Chains A and B, each alone.
Chain A
Amino acid sequence: MISWDSFIVFCAMLGVTYSTRLLGFFALRNRTLSRRAQTVMEAAPGCVLISVIAPYFVSDKPHELIAITLTVWAASRFSMLITVLIGVGSSGLFGYLFR
């Protein structure tokens, strides 16, 4: 049920994530980061998340472009569950209508 390469991926994730948790405690506890370094670190998670979903914004299917627009709007207003329902619902509905 677990392949070796999956296990290697999980070990890599464990190593990387646990390191980030320990690093701040051990290396930065008595130091203040420069403003520039803080800005970069604050921006980093958002930059990764938006890069991962970038393909949805340039989809060649019109119904997905409409759905992603609606999803962006929903995310700015609603909780996760409602946003997911609006995203999935609109993508499914427009996909059905435009087929």
Chain B
Amino acid sequence: MTSLPSPRAEFLRGIKESSPMLIGLLPWALILGVQGGQKGMSWLEMLLMTGMNFAGGSEFATVNLWVHPLPVLLIATVTLMINSRHILMGAAFAPYLKHLPLKKAMAVLFFMCDESWAMGLAEAQKRKAAGLGSLNLPFYAGVCFILYITWIGFAAFGAALGPLFGDVAAWGFGMAFPAVFLVLLKGMWKGFAAARPWLVSLLVAAATYLSVDGAWYVPAGTLAGLLTAYGFGERR
């Protein structure tokens, strides 16, 4: 076997191989930031939120629910539900993290988002086939570094720009929210049968929105969808 590449080279390869994803990530971060800025979030608040949470879907939802006084419990609940997929992702990652000291494993998991998880796992599986069988830490660090910096940097930049645009709702910019969410949904699409709970969520949330004040339509719709998924669970 030839000598292994240096950690530095692997770190740079991680940056290089994940850079095409930035084309998708960058406008998304900007849109999140601009929307946050429009809702009154400062660039520092956006930087803190994206830096501490680092999970895009829940950040879009939070910005959408951003009214004063802030509904802390509602935002935390919605964040939990959107990010519950991380539980399965972490479990799938576990066999490749076993060899790491706990501190490093905890750091790896902090930066685990859809993109870094997919890249890290694909690379680990390739290494397994070559008999190396573990997470390539420098490679993963490179992937996370560029994704993290881009995400929080451009979101904060967007938040600083947001207030410059004036009343963007009049220009139709309010439609950016559902547009982003619908594209996220398409990414999760696994056919009509698997999407039945989503339809139930939509109907119940819409009915609740029309009949009850406040943001209760979010938990009501979600709960109805989850119960539907539970009901269909054994049949699939």
Report A's interface with B, CB cutoff 8 A: 1-2, 5-18, 20-25, 27-29, 31, 33-58, 64, 67-68, 71-72, 74-76, 79-81, 83-84, 86-93, 95
CA distance A38 to B168 in the complex (A): 40
Assuming the contacts A36-B233, A50-B198, A80-B24, asked whether A16 and B76 have C-beta atoms less than 8 A apart, the reply is yes
CA distance A58 to B9 in the complex (A): 53
30 sampled A-B residue pairs with Cβ under 8 A? A5-B68, A10-B52, A13-B52, A14-B52, A17-B55, A20-B86, A21-B112, A22-B109, A23-B90, A24-B91, A25-B93, A28-B94, A29-B91, A35-B233, A42-B188, A42-B194, A45-B57, A47-B201, A50-B185, A50-B225, A51-B220, A54-B202, A54-B206, A57-B202, A64-B175, A67-B175, A68-B178, A87-B175, A90-B175, A93-B172
Chain B residues with CB under 8 Å of A17's CB are: 53-55, 58, 79, 83, 86
Chain A residues with CB under 8 Å of B170's CB are: 92, 95
Partner of B175, one of A1, A8, A37, A68: A68
Q: Which residue of A lies closest to B26 (CB)?
A: A81
Q: Are A1 and B42 interface neighbours, CB within 8 A? A: yes
Segment from B43-51, B120-128, B137-145 that makes contact with A? B43-51
Assuming the contacts A13-B62, A39-B229, A88-B172, asked whether A57 and B206 have C-beta atoms less than 8 A apart, the reply is yes
Considering residues B27, B31, B78, B182, which has the most beta carbons from chain A within 10 angstroms of its beta carbon? B182
Chain B residues with CB under 8 Å of A51's CB are: 201-202, 204-205, 217-222, 225
Report B's interface with A, CB cutoff 8 A: 24, 27-28, 31, 41-45, 48-49, 52-55, 57-58, 61-62, 64-65, 68-70, 72, 75-76, 78-95, 97, 105-106, 109-110, 112, 170-186, 188, 190, 194-195, 197-198, 201-202, 204-206, 209-210, 217-222, 225-226, 228-230, 232-234, 236
Assuming the contacts A24-B90, A24-B93, A49-B185, asked whether A43 and B179 have C-beta atoms less than 8 A apart, the reply is no
Partner of B194, one of A43, A49, A55: A43
Q: Are A20 and B84 interface neighbours, CB within 8 A? A: yes
Chain B residues with CB under 8 Å of A40's CB are: 226, 229-230, 233
Chain B residues with CB under 8 Å of A12's CB are: 72, 75-76, 79
CA distance A92 to B58 in the complex (A): 26
Q: Are A47 and B225 interface neighbours, CB within 8 A? A: yes
Q: Are B61 and A92 interface neighbours, CB within 8 A? A: no
Known: A47-B198, A51-B201, A83-B182. 13 other contacts (CB 8 A): A12-B76, A20-B90, A39-B233, A42-B194, A44-B82, A44-B222, A51-B220, A52-B61, A52-B205, A68-B178, A75-B186, A84-B179, A86-B179
Chain A residues with CB under 8 Å of B79's CB are: 12-13, 16-17
Q: Are B44 and A1 interface neighbours, CB within 8 A? A: yes
Chain B residues with CB under 8 Å of A5's CB are: 68-70, 72
Partner of A79, one of B72, B173, B183, B218: B183
Q: Are B172 and A10 interface neighbours, CB within 8 A? A: no
Q: Are A49 and B175 interface neighbours, CB within 8 A? A: no
Q: Are A58 and B89 interface neighbours, CB within 8 A? A: no
Chain B residues with CB under 8 Å of A79's CB are: 24, 183
